[in-house]
Amino acid sequence: MKAISKVSGRAIPFGRKNVDTDIIIPARWLKTTTREGMGKGAFETVRREAGNVFDDPEYAGSPILIAGDNFGCGSSREHAAWALLDMGIAAVIASGFSDIFSSNAFKNGILTIELPQSAIDRLMEVSMTDPVDIDLDSQSVTTPFQDRFEFQIDPFRKHCLMNGLDEVGMTMAQDDAIATYEERLMLEKPWQQPVMR
Amino acid sequence: MPKTLYEKIWDAHVVDQRDDGTALIYIDRHLVHEVTSPQAFEGLRMAGRKVRRADLTLAVPDHNVPTTARVDVQGKPIPIADPDSAAQLAALERNAPEFGIRYIRATDREQGIVHVVGPEQGFTLPGTTLVCGDSHTAAHGALGALAFGIGTSEVEHVLATQTLLLKRSKSMEIRVEGALGPGVTPKDLVLHIIGTIGAAGGNGHVIEYRGSVFEEMSIEGRLTVSNMSIEAGARAGIIAPDEKTFAYLKGRPMVPQGADWDAAVAHWRMLRTDKGAVFDASITIDAADVEPTVTWGTSPEDVVPIGGIVPDPMSFADPSKQAAAQKSLDYMGLAPGMKMTDVPVEHVFIGSCTNSRIEDLRAAADIVRGRTKAGNVKSVLIVPGSGLVKYQAEREGLDRVFVEAGFEWREPGCSACLGMNPDKVPAGERCASTSNRNFVGRQGPGARTHLVSPAMAAAAAVTGRLTDIREL
């Protein structure tokens, strides 16, 4: 995973609330066995709307997406995160995220930033004309107009994102603790081992 | 210190607690299907990693499998026409044996939707942690498991380590007391709950459903309610296991036997929220306020009693909701003020991990008996949740009720719940559906979905419009 510390550029002012994962990537794009190339299907239904922000040349290659509350609600498909990544999105700023989406985004090195709706409204306005800057180290989003919005992030996630750490490898290093747990489980709940017949 | 049921299960699964609040949580059961697993297996292969506990993992294909005949007259498997779907199935069929995982094939009688198969096989047990790369894993909480959907990176993490790195969620109690009225089903109740707390109302929480209504409810009904916890934003729902739970599980293929069963039940009886335990949020709903419920928009929170009307977008206080409602109505082809019972439907779908169990099919058949499909209805798909549900329904003669009414009796799978297999609703056409999501394009590009109970779906099929089953 690539380490991430700063994201700067124009932000796509999408702004909608309850953006579900079927909107981010419709199911017909899920029939793959690899993680690549999903950007083509990203926001497919929105892109059929005339004048949509995703096809506005103004925002071509934008690394940031702005949305309203409950972004990424619905299915657990990690394809939503892969699709954003493939579009070149490195950070999503929203007034709220679904739990599964924000976890999936994190595992793919996408920064999810939760800010109050008033900050979202302001950033939407700025994004019409100017870029925004995200600094993960100082946990802030700033604009060329001296706006500064601080955000919260789980310290563990921050550490992993800033260092591009592989979580599976990190957990495998705790194999002893897992083995000890399993031994205890065998003693306390032997009946919980699956019956194989 | 009194604990909630969620806290008890969580505490029993902590392998390692970190100072930052993150915990390494042991996973007792892992269900795998063909859509969210290929990239996880690929990740393992590339890193030269093995599945740590293949015996705790069960793989079943469900999302892509067509619901038409699986084998020809000679009993030979019929290949899947769509090459991408076929490739995903082939990948699971290759990955499962390669990594030593038990695999139910598309042609096996036990095959079905993962969330129907898990409880049915007794793979799901009270007090366990159970995950699957599918958000409707929340369903298994109906048996008292802590069950939630995960992404593919987490699937890979569980395969490799049998654990997940998680932060404890907040707890929410949804208490429903009283008795549901005539014609009011668990599906209506959960739609009502989502309408009450909103599609984001449960974000960051695990919901425990409590109160007399859930105590009286069948396991099938509890599965329906818990299944849709995710539509209120909650990652998991849970219902304390009780005598009904034990009776449901007893004798199922993968549950403990003999003395082990007794030991298990003794342990499961302790899985209750302690008196005096504090929830982070508490919601109380009077069962008498719940009516047969239907969605009008494109979020599961867009609900209205069947006797109600399509709302005016301007009636919502929140300006962003006003805009969203207008967009929804445009998409749904509905006008404010229209009576829900005047809305005609062209398609009916009875199935999905929410409502495809035997009790759902019985409820639908009870409405249909002696009636036939309305003239304006183009298709009615009845898709049992598993081969075993299908077999049971056929033994009870339910298939004949449906076929004689002009409905299609299909093979098990996710079917028209999501646009991944041949069962789709055409653009601009309207479907009364027992599934769980009315999102834009969910049942196919441009498809219009109204979420309803199995009885209401059956009623819509015979009247040709959304119908109050109490007036049928």
B323 plus B446 within the same structural domain: yes
* Beta-carbon separation of A31 and B35 below 8 A: yes
Banded pLDDT at A39 (limits 50, 70, 90): very high
**Three-state secondary-structure class, residue A68:** coil
Smallest CA–CA distance, residue B133 to chain A, in Å, is: 6
The CA distance from B200 to B232, in Å, is 6
The CA distance from B239 to B144, in Å, is 5
B140 plus B173 within the same structural domain: no
Does the pLDDT at position A3 exceed 90?
Answer: no
Nearest CB to A171 within list B163, B169, B235 = B163
Establish if B250 belongs to a structural domain: no
- pLDDT at residue B10, as a whole number: 98
* Beta-carbon separation of B233 and A31 below 8 A: no
Domain that holds residue B314: 294-471
Does the pLDDT at position A2 exceed 90?
Answer: no
- pLDDT at residue A196, as a whole number: 66
B181 plus B148 within the same structural domain: no
Over residues B14-24, the mean pLDDT reads: 93
The number of angstroms, rounded, from the C-alpha of A33 to the middle of its chain's C-alpha atoms is 21
The CA distance from B410 to B111, in Å, is 13
Residue with tokens 């009845």: B382
The CA distance from B400 to B387, in Å, is 17
DSSP class of B144:
T
What is the enclosing helix (H) or strand (E) of B430? strand B430-433
Establish if B118 belongs to a structural domain: yes
- pLDDT at residue A195, as a whole number: 75
Tens digits of per-residue pLDDT, B300-322?
999 999 999 999 999 999 888 89
Given B143, B166, B189, which residue is the final one in a domain? Answer: B166
Tens digits of per-residue pLDDT, B440-451?
999 999 999 999
B115 plus B185 within the same structural domain: no
Q: What length is written for chain B?
A: 472
Looking at beta carbons, which residues of chain B come within 8 Å of A77?
A: 35-36, 151
The tokens for A132 are: 């925004």
- pLDDT at residue B203, as a whole number: 96
Establish if B216 belongs to a structural domain: yes
Residue pair B405/B339 in contact (Cβ under 8 Å)? The answer is no
**Three-state secondary-structure class, residue B200:** coil
B178 plus B73 within the same structural domain: no
The tokens for A71 are: 């972004």
Measured distance between the N- and C-terminal CA atoms of chain B, rounded to whole angstroms = 52
Banded pLDDT at B21 (limits 50, 70, 90): confident
The CA distance from A31 to A43, in Å, is 16
> Per-residue DSSP letters for B8-56?
HHHHTTEEEE-TTSEEEEE-SEEEE-TTTSHHHHHHHHHHT---TTGGG
- pLDDT at residue A194, as a whole number: 83
The residue of chain A with its CA nearest to that of B302 is A18
* Beta-carbon separation of B204 and A99 below 8 A: yes
The number of angstroms, rounded, from the C-alpha of A178 to the middle of its chain's C-alpha atoms is 29
Residue pair A190/B260 in contact (Cβ under 8 Å)? The answer is yes
B178 plus B327 within the same structural domain: no
Nearest to B153 by CA among B165, B170, B137: B165
Q: How many domains does chain B have?
A: 3
DSSP class of B139:
G
* Beta-carbon separation of A18 and B200 below 8 A: yes
* Beta-carbon separation of A18 and B299 below 8 A: yes
Nearest CB to B154 within list A22, A73, A103 = A103
* Beta-carbon separation of A22 and B442 below 8 A: yes
The tokens for B25 are: 């949580």
Which amino acid, residue B449?
A: T
Does the pLDDT at position A197 exceed 60?
Answer: no
DSSP class of A17:
S
Does the pLDDT at position A97 exceed 90?
Answer: yes
Tens digits of per-residue pLDDT, B370-422?
999 999 999 999 999 999 999 999 999 999 999 999 999 999 999 999 989 99
CB-based contacts of B303, cutoff 8 Å, min separation 6: B191, B192, B194, B195, B293, B294, B295, B296, B451
One of 3.40.640.10, 3.20.19.10, 3.40.630.30, 3.40.50.300 is the CATH number of A6-164, namely 3.20.19.10
- pLDDT at residue B314, as a whole number: 96
The tokens for B472 are: 């049928």
Tens digits of per-residue pLDDT, B143-200?
999 999 999 999 999 999 999 999 999 999 999 999 999 999 999 999 999 999 999 9
Four-point Cα dihedral A119, A125, A127, A130, nearest 10 = -110
Handedness of CA B449, B452, B457, B463 (dihedral sign): negative
Establish if B190 belongs to a structural domain: yes
Establish if B254 belongs to a structural domain: no
Smallest CA–CA distance, residue A60 to chain B, in Å, is: 25
Establish if B343 belongs to a structural domain: yes
* Beta-carbon separation of A167 and B153 below 8 A: yes
The CA distance from B246 to B261, in Å, is 10
Does the pLDDT at position B20 exceed 90?
Answer: no
- Which CATH number belongs to the domain containing residue B95 in this structure? 3.30.499.10
Instruction: Please indicate whether residue A161 or residue A166 has the higher confidence score (pLDDT).
Output: A161
The CA distance from B169 to B154, in Å, is 17
Over residues B319-346, the mean pLDDT reads: 96
Q: What length is written for chain A?
A: 197
The CA distance from B70 to B80, in Å, is 9
Smallest CA–CA distance, residue A148 to chain B, in Å, is: 24
Q: Quote the mean pLDDT of chain B.
A: 97
The CA distance from B419 to A30, in Å, is 10
Q: Establish, for the pair of chains A and B, how many residue pairs have beta carbons separated by less than 8 Å.
A: 202
The residue of chain A with its CA nearest to that of B261 is A191
- pLDDT at residue B235, as a whole number: 93
Over residues B352-372, the mean pLDDT reads: 98
Looking at beta carbons, which residues of chain B come within 8 Å of A108?
A: 153
Does the pLDDT at position B458 exceed 90?
Answer: yes
Q: Cα-flanking dihedrals φ and ψ of residue A10, to 5°?
A: -70, 145
B160 plus B174 within the same structural domain: no
Q: How many helices (H) and strands (E) does chain B have?
A: 15, 19
Nearest CB to B256 within list A23, A35, A195 = A195
Residue pair B414/B62 in contact (Cβ under 8 Å)? The answer is yes
B283 plus B316 within the same structural domain: no
Give per-residue burial for B238-249: e unless 16+ CB within 10 Å, then b. Answer: bbbbbebbbebb
Nearest CB to A77 within list B36, B199, B264 = B36
B173 plus B156 within the same structural domain: no
Four-point Cα dihedral B209, B213, B217, B222, nearest 10 = -20
The number of angstroms, rounded, from the C-alpha of A27 to the middle of its chain's C-alpha atoms is 18
B91 plus B180 within the same structural domain: no
The number of angstroms, rounded, from the C-alpha of B140 to the middle of its chain's C-alpha atoms is 9
Which amino acid, residue A12?
A: I
B58 plus B148 within the same structural domain: yes
Nearest CB to B87 within list A33, A177, A189 = A33
List C-alpha distances in Å: B83 to A127, B39, B76, B90, B94: 42, 18, 19, 10, 16
- Which CATH number belongs to the domain containing residue B230 in this structure? 3.40.1060.10
Half-sphere exposure of B106 (CA within 13 A, CB side): 29
The residue of chain A with its CA nearest to that of B127 is A192
**Three-state secondary-structure class, residue B131:** strand
Give alpha helix (H) positions in B149-304. Answer: 152-161, 186-197, 212-216, 219-227, 243-249, 258-268
CB-based contacts of A133, cutoff 8 Å, min separation 6: A6, A7, A8, A141, A142, A143
Establish if B23 belongs to a structural domain: yes
Nearest to B153 by CA among B36, B51, B63: B36
Nearest CB to B39 within list A27, A33, A154 = A33
Establish if B105 belongs to a structural domain: yes
